[in-house]
Chains A and B, each alone.
Chain A
Amino acid sequence: AQSVTQLGSHVSVSEGALVLLRCNYSSSVPPYLFWYVQYPNQGLQLLLKYTSAATLVKGINGFEAEFKKSETSFHLTKPSAHMSDAAEYFCAGRFSGGSNYKLTFGKGTLLTVNP
């Protein structure tokens, strides 16, 4: 079945440290992939999206993600964490085939940033 998996439900980093949030997909054809961020009691905000034009995608707030087909991955990184990055992050994919282009989400990764 086509799915998106996020490894690690909770990641804790120190302020200024590298942020790495992992996302893998399962499908024979790579999906269109998205990263969203959710702050408490808020909706989802799009950070970036992969559309096959480039494997390294830059998003807002200093985040970027690299698509690796051989690893079926789309990990999210940020060189230096800021306190304001503390939130929940969701990886999502739109899979081809059929007419249903719903977003399929991973379970989410809660990022904690320690001072």
Chain B
Amino acid sequence: KAGVTQTPRYLIKTRGQQVTLSCSPISGHRSVSWYQQTPGQGLQFLFEYFSETQRNKGNFPGRFSGRQFSNSRSEMNVSTLELGDSALYLCASSLVAGNPNTEAFFGQGTRLTVV
């Protein structure tokens, strides 16, 4: 069974540009969450999608957005990139949403560097 796939693995962008990251969840999983990992702030929740609807959103500016497609694949977009957006972006898939007991399976992440 294939795991969570994130593409690309590495990305270098210039300040002011925008970027789109992709996540394919485990087959059959319908919930996708995104997290930002930085040395200073650790792992922070960005948003969660289930059945193409955003269920929850973390405390990030509106420059961060996402969406989920009918096949459960998800993308997140960051516009007007800032140096502080440099981070490892992790996607996690879960079988269902709204169940605190459910396990989250993480992809290998996309390492975004903003220069």
A residues bordering B, Cβ < 8 Å? 31-32, 34, 36, 41-46, 49, 51, 90, 92, 94-96, 99-108
Contact = CB atoms under 8 A, between A and B. Distances in A.
Given A32-B100, A43-B108, A49-B103, A100 B56 contact: yes
B55 A99 contact: yes
Contacts of A106: 42
Q: Main secondary structure on chain A at its contact with chain B?
A: loop
Contact of B48 (A34, A45, A46, A102): A102
A94 B94 CA distance: 13
Interface of B: 4, 6, 33, 35, 42-43, 45, 48, 55-56, 58, 90, 92, 97-109, 111
A32 B101 contact: yes
Nearest to A98: B56
B11 to A, nearest CB: 14
Contacts of B98: 99, 101
A105 B92 CA distance: 14
Nearest to A96: B100
A108 B42 contact: yes
Contact of B33 (A32, A41, A42, A102): A102
Given A43-B108, A44-B90, A107 B42 contact: yes
A91 B33 CA distance: 17
A43 B106 contact: yes
